[in-house]
Copies of this chain bind each other. A is one copy, B any other.
Amino acid sequence: MGHGGGGKLSEELVEHLFRPAFDSQGEMCDAAVFDVNAGRLAYSTDSYVVHPLFFPGGDIGKLAVHGTVNDLAMMGAKPLVMSVGFILEEGFELEALGRIAQSMGEAARRSGVKIVTGDTKVVDRGHGHGVYINTSGIGCLPQGRKLGPERARGGDAILVSGPLGNHGMAIMSLREGLEFESTIESDTACLSPLVELLMEDPEKVRVLRDPTRGGLASSLNEIAKSSGVGMMLEERHLPVDPDVKGACEFLGLDPLYVANEGKLVAIVAPEAADGLLAKLHSHPLGRGAARIGFCTEERSGMVALKTAFGGTRVVDTQVGEQLPRIC
């Protein structure tokens, strides 16, 4: 409990664990100060309660950095600075916390964002689950970028940057102790490089979204409702890795609803779709990108899927939680 009390133990945690991991310089105040140019800022927050804390391809810390960076990137913003708040459960091993902090520091450096302010609280044993992490982030929005879920138009193409469902199935496989033929890894990644590639032609990009909780289905439903368009997806064009497909079939899950942590969906002008898809393919994070469907003036607010058998079904928003504590 002492490490969250604001006394000497808190100080030691900051000095010996967080500061080296986050490359923090200067005085550690309760608030950080930084300079900005006049303009538009984007601002986002997310809490992370993923269980288990460590999983193939990542951990809660990496997820927390990428998640907030990606929320900013989906607005077209370049991430600048981040905050981190830890809620530790009494008795949580400092060694594990150290690994998580290291992982956050590394993810932040790779994402080009600085962790500038933070906070640690400790709750009594039995009232947490190891560690929960909140991150918030600030990014600057370059001029001329206008992205928003209300900007999709009939005829627009729908692109995804790679195979669906890897994060969710990595967690589920581990949690359920399922043994598949190979290990599914989380796709957690910073999507800023892909966004900057797409933004070379900002006029042609209407909406960007990272389909995390609730999967691609939830993101597309939100966009369809905000924009008042319908959407038609082609099942045979949806990229899904064979392992993920197998695991989904085994567990009775639909990859359209499974969380991703390093994929984006882009609604783009139809005439630019092929060029933007080629740009995605040129980057390691977008190698598996695909054009999966289009927007239409018909069936406003509704997402539909042309199945592999030639039928059509509605892809609705899920009501509750398909996979609890996935991020």
Q: List residues of chain A with CB under 8 Å of any chain B CB.
A: 1-11, 27, 29-49, 71-72, 74-75, 77, 81, 83-87, 116-124, 126-129, 132, 134, 136, 138-139, 141, 148-150, 212-214, 218, 226, 317-322, 324-325
Contacts and interface: CB of A to CB of B under 8 A. Distances in A.
Contact of A36 (B2, B3, B38, B118): B38
A27 B226 CA distance: 8
26 contacts: A5-B320, A6-B212, A7-B318, A7-B319, A27-B149, A30-B74, A30-B75, A31-B71, A31-B74, A31-B75, A32-B42, A33-B42, A36-B36, A37-B38, A38-B38, A43-B83, A44-B117, A46-B119, A47-B86, A47-B87, A85-B134, A87-B132, A121-B132, A127-B127, A127-B128, A136-B136
Nearest to A48: B121
Contacts of A34: 40-41, 43
A41 B36 contact: yes
- Copies of this chain in its oligomeric complex: 2
Contact of A116 (B3, B31, B43, B121): B43
B36 A43 contact: no
Contact of A141 (B10, B33, B41): B33
Contact of A319 (B2, B35, B39, B136): B2
Leading 10 A-B pairs by shortest Cβ distance = A2-B320, A5-B321, A6-B213, A31-B44, A6-B214, A45-B83, A134-B134, A136-B136, A7-B318, A38-B38
A213 to B, nearest CB: 3
A3 to B, nearest CB: 8
Contact of A45 (B1, B136, B319): B136
Given A31-B42, A41-B34, A72-B31, A134 B5 contact: no
